[in-house]
Structure 1
């Protein structure tokens, strides 16, 4: 029963988040209408090349939100499957990107989908998404079971706060008169993420903090990538 209650609470939290956050802008600094962005900063960091996709790959995004990164994957000629627990997020993604060939959207929890599907995947990715908000001992085996040999699993999120590792509380604010909604997230230092991935059978695992762009911003982005051989 607790997992069902947590799932319902998470859906309510991400519905609230969806209503607070606008979708991706119509074009980036170079004028492109789709692009891949691993970091929380516009026009910053690497792109889809991190996934090292063969032609016509099958790619799954865990926590696709309003679909900006997933749409870019679809425009590259791949089958792009997106999961999210929030109907408003998926509705926004479908409204903007739903006509793109190869793009598929499903309301589903990440581990449940991975355990129920028979898809073989060339890559799985998450950008500040479900890979941050799902217990690694549940998620990593489920991802590994669905990846093809040579497949890539990559994800990004904010680095851990020093001394605060493992399961943490993440708050989504509402009005001043309401308590924030709480979801769980899992924070680790880069070396620990590499250890966890290797423990669950991934190889060529790397994790590093990408520095924020120059200026007053200080918080970087943790980018983790591993391959299944």
Structure 2
């Protein structure tokens, strides 16, 4: 979905400990990682020391990227920041701003259909209990009422709209099928649900 990145300047938004950016660096890209969490960036630097594969990381947010216009050939986010910002349109706009004309933007998110079902990976969880169009975010709070986690739901149409309004041309949409023989259960996802509906949506788009 990223195309040939060898020699390209690539920004990973919401890089976490940098696994993806590190892989791209080892395949010839000039990767830069960005994450809101200082702790995650500390993990990234520790892994740099263990692997010997190093790349620069920056603390920042998806809705205010600390880079100049037209700075990157590729911007991507692998389950990184886009689900966790309230203003997805602004995040997409920031990706467009820092991309050079013709640059590529790719991202993966939890498939929007996932929000219609309970957080139960068993057969009993194969029921639709929520509206696909209910965009109420999932929020966790501590005992004092402070938000500790928030995740936002957008439909596929929402993502298409954000990309189109920002000047992107969609070049790919992948909804991966559950791998045959894979039996790992993670959160609300497992082989029973995965055999019937996609858990991930991966989008790629070109600017201009």
Q: Give the TM-score of the pair, scaled to structure 2.
A: 0.72
Instruction: Structure 1 unaligned segments of length 5 or more: list them.
Output: 1-49
Deviations 1:145-201 (A, max 9, x none): 1111221111112112132443512448x8xx8989543333223243223211211
CA contact (8 A) 1:190 1:207 kept: no
Alignment match, 1:14: none
1:61-210 matches, cutoff 5 A: 61-97=12-48, 99-101=52-54, 103-114=55-66, 116-118=67-69, 120-134=71-85, 135-160=87-112, 161-162=115-116, 163-165=131-133, 166=135, 168-171=137-140, 181-210=147-176
What is the number of equivalent residue pairs in this alignment? 175
Alignment match, 1:226: 205
Separation in structure 1 between the aligned mates of residue 56 and residue 41 of structure 2, nearest angstrom: 10
1:208: how far off? 4.0
SS in 2 for 1:111: coil
CA contact (8 A) 2:22 2:31 kept: yes
Deviations 1:77-105 (A, max 9, x none): 1111101111211111111125425x111
Q: Give the TM-score of the pair, scaled to structure 1.
A: 0.66
1:211: how far off? 2.4
SS in 1 for 2:84: coil
* CA gap 1:119/1:204 in 2 versus in 1, 3 angstroms: closer
Separation in structure 1 between the aligned mates of residue 93 and residue 136 of structure 2, nearest angstrom: 18
Separation in structure 1 between the aligned mates of residue 101 and residue 46 of structure 2, nearest angstrom: 34
- Bigger-Rg structure (1/2): 2
* CA gap 1:86/1:197 in 2 versus in 1, 3 angstroms: same
Separation in structure 2 between the aligned mates of residue 217 and residue 105 of structure 1, nearest angstrom: 38
* CA gap 1:82/1:167 in 2 versus in 1, 3 angstroms: farther
Instruction: Structure 2 unaligned segments of length 5 or more: list them.
Output: 117-130, 184-190
Separation in structure 1 between the aligned mates of residue 33 and residue 45 of structure 2, nearest angstrom: 11
Bigger shift: residues 65-74 or 195-204 = 195-204
SS in 2 for 1:100: coil
* CA gap 1:81/1:170 in 2 versus in 1, 3 angstroms: farther
What RMSD in Å do the two structures reach over aligned CA positions? 2.6
Alignment match, 1:47: none
